[in-house]
Chains A and B, each alone.
Chain A
């Protein structure tokens, strides 16, 4: 196709599009687009304060180095705890968001948190167990095979990795526990 000043593909006419698509062109005028312009000073957010009251800090709350103060409102859902908590506190206290170390420490702390929490659960009345928590029963109730096979799905190329990622650490931990027990018994 020669590259001329004309658009290479001519769109259908307005009438054709209106006949085919309900509401076609209803927001043609940018004034009808609620996100336009992106920044507006004339919106009423509902706020009836200049600065919100401060939520009480009942327990020390970690915050980004980039905030000069604790924000007026914050979540209190899962306070830091254990070794993962030490890593998280270090990430927040030492590195700004611009440093890769900040995020990589947080990623690492999440893995530590998972291990700590799994171990802690074994001392509780409701230990973690990966079978029900992964919802793998859905494979039986929602057509796992039929949903994947013969459908041209690209993700089937790596689906096999998931069970290894999820069950692998449990199998490995179990094998190590058995080996350690045998060694202790044989002494």
Chain B
């Protein structure tokens, strides 16, 4: 089969790999019909996640058709159209039994600090991902869900991570009616978080980024006010002014390890990899939140230390909430929002690349060319 293959930082290609096989009785093999490149894939692409091995196939956002199931699989059958959460989880361990599906203890031998994720390095379990024609899906009775007939492939694809994560992040922020919510990052996750903040009753939503076309989406899609941090001397001060000097009630950090805004932090964290990423957006979030406020962290960082302004967070009495999204818990309510016509998530899918052109797709997405928001990968066999 054809699959994306990581060849070292900034380099990927398409290669021939063996079709994955059933390795556990509750495995399924899925023929991928559509995958996406996630902003967090760029952390792998840039070599920021430890134990990302050459030869890896990335891709934790994908949908497809069930090709084969293992002997103990009861809930899936070949031929079904399924969406697969980016979390790999057993459904039965201490954490899964409490609904913490993204923190499963039974699927990742390489680390206890993170659960299992498709195509996200050996630090996340050593599974190949869905930017390929076929993928192995462990615990097929737990993770994948059959896509309802009235949900489009595109919306289903976004529910496997970006949409669910953004929606989850708005919930983590503990928004109360009338709250002012600041969202750092106008990528897909940030835009979905901003849009979701209104569902929770926000009175005001302000999105911060430095890409003009993404800020336009923040206004059009997320119906938010915007701040271009490249056009102000001091983004924290600007946001304090916009919030009456007190700061925002709730702040959502949807940027993660590759934040811009401080050349020094960016070079240290991203180019030289001396930190677990550049914590600029996280520090801004801490600065911008009002005392007693909440910071919801969706941005992904590496496990190495980062220079975070923890003292300010303590002195301001902030509540910091964060996690990888337990994706499947979000689906029923998200489908209700889509069916009610509250929004159309697929509006954010801007580019399609055939799998054969995935190197170009990564470059365009990484470099933010052509006003790209969210790229879709189409395998040849789809």
Residues A39 and B98 in contact in the complex (CB < 8 Å), given A64-B112, A161-B267: yes
> Could you tell me which residues of chain B, from 105 to 122, have a CB within 8 Å of some CB in chain A?
105-113, 116, 122
Whether B7 pairs with A155 at a CB distance below 8 angstroms is: no
Tell yes or no: B309 within 8 A of A by CB.
no
Q: Please, what's the 1-or-0 string for B18-30, where 1 marks a CB less than 8 Å from any CB in chain A?
A: 0000011110000
Q: Is B62's beta carbon under 8 Å from chain A? A: no
With contacts A41-B98, A47-B91, A78-B53 known, is A11 near B266, CB below 8 A? no
CB distance A32 to B333 under 8 Å?
A: yes
- Which residues in B have their C-beta under 8 angstroms from that of A35? 168, 171-172, 325-326, 329-330
Q: Smallest CB-CB separation from A72: which chain B residue? A: B106
Which residues of A sit under 8 angstroms from B98, Cβ to Cβ?
Answer: 39-41
Contacts of A185 in B (CB 8 A): none
Residues in B225-277 with C-beta less than 8 Å from chain A: 228-231, 243-246, 260-261, 263, 266-267, 271, 273
Interface presence of B345 (CB below 8 A): no
| Total A-B contacts with CB atoms under 8 angstroms apart | 311
State in angstroms the CA–CA spacing of A116 and B369 once bound together: 32
Q: Interface range on chain B: under 10, 10 to 19, 20 to 34, or 35 or more?
A: 35 or more
**Residues in chain A near residue B305, CB distance under 8 A:** 100
A22 is an interface residue with CB less than 8 A from chain B: yes
The reply to whether the CB of A20 lies closer than 8 angstroms to some CB of chain B is: yes
Contact A21 B198 (CB under 8 A): yes
**Is A186 at the interface (CB under 8 A from chain B)?**
no
Q: Which residue of A lies closest to B17 (CB)?
A: A77
- Judging by beta carbons under 8 Å apart, are A152 and B230 in contact? yes
Q: Which residues of chain A come closer than 8 Å to B271, judged between CB atoms?
A: 158, 161, 165
Distance of B144 from chain A, by nearest CB (Å): 9
- Cross-chain contact A152 with B363 (CB below 8 angstroms): no
Is A53 at the interface (CB under 8 A from chain B)?
A: yes
Known interface pairs A35-B326, A76-B126, A77-B128; A46-B141 also in contact (CB < 8 Å): yes
Given contacts A22-B341, A34-B171, A117-B7, contact A143 B369 (CB under 8 A): yes
What sequence of 0s and 1s flags, for each residue 209-237 of chain B, a beta carbon within 8 Å of any chain A beta carbon? 01110000000000100001111000000
Whether B200 contacts A28 by the Cβ 8 Å rule is yes
Which single residue of chain A is at the shortest CB-CB distance from B16? A126
Q: How far is the CB of B29 from chain A (nearest CB, A)?
A: 14
Q: Which of B92, B116, B261, B363 contacts A136 (CB 8 A)?
A: B363
- The answer to whether A113 and B369 have CB atoms under 8 Å apart is no
A63 to chain B: closest residue by CB:
B109
Q: How far is the CA of A77 from the CA of B208 in the complex (A)?
A: 38
Tell me the complex Cα distance, A137–B244, Å. Answer: 47
How far apart are A143's CB and chain B's nearest CB, in angstroms? 5
* A72 x B90 contact (CB < 8 A): yes
Query: Quick one: given A22-B343, A47-B142, A153-B210, are A141 and B111 in contact (CB under 8 Å)?
Result: no
Q: Are A110 and B106 in contact (CB under 8 A)?
A: no
The residues in A between 95 and 141 inclusive whose CB is less than 8 angstroms from any CB of B are 97, 100, 103-104, 106-107, 109-111, 113-114, 116-118, 121, 126, 128, 130, 132-139, 141
CA–CA, A63 and B341, complex, Å: 46
Chain B proximity mask over A13-41: 1 for CB below 8 Å, otherwise 0: 01001001111111110001111101111
Instruction: Determine whether the beta carbon of A106 is less than 8 Å from that of B50.
Output: yes
> How many residues of chain A are within 8 Å of chain B by beta carbon?
101
A165 in complex: contacting residue of B10, B126, B180, CB < 8 Å = B10
CB 8 Å contact bits of A174-185 with B (1 = contact, 0 = none): 000000000000
CB A48 to nearest CB in B, in angstroms, measures 7
Q: Which of A36, A78, A100 makes the CB contact (< 8 A) with B122?
A: A78
Q: In the complex, what's the smallest C-beta–C-beta distance from A49 to chain B, in angstroms?
A: 6
CA distance A25 to B360 in the complex (A): 41
From A25, A43, A56, A132, give the contact of B201 (CB < 8 A): A25
Does A51 have its Cβ within 8 Å of any Cβ on chain B?
yes
Q: Is the CB of B342 within 8 A of A45?
A: no
By the criterion CB–CB under 8 Å, are B110 and A63 in contact?
A: yes
Asked, given contacts A25-B177, A43-B329, A78-B56, whether A55 binds B24 with beta carbons under 8 Å apart, the answer is yes
* Bound Cα distance A151, B330 (Å): 36
Provide the residues of chain B in CB contact with A157, threshold 8 Å. 263
B interface list, Cβ under 8 A from A = 7-13, 15, 23-26, 47, 50-57, 72, 74-75, 88-92, 96-101, 105-113, 116, 122-123, 125-128, 138-139, 141-142, 168, 171-172, 177-180, 196, 198-201, 203-204, 210-212, 223, 228-231, 243-246, 260-261, 263, 266-267, 271, 273, 302-305, 325-326, 329-330, 332-333, 337, 340-343, 358-364, 367-372
Top 4 nearest A-B pairs (CB, nearest first) are A8-B244, A11-B203, A23-B342, A75-B126
8 A-B residue pairings within 8 Å (CB atoms): A45-B91, A73-B106, A75-B127, A106-B123, A126-B15, A135-B362, A138-B369, A151-B212
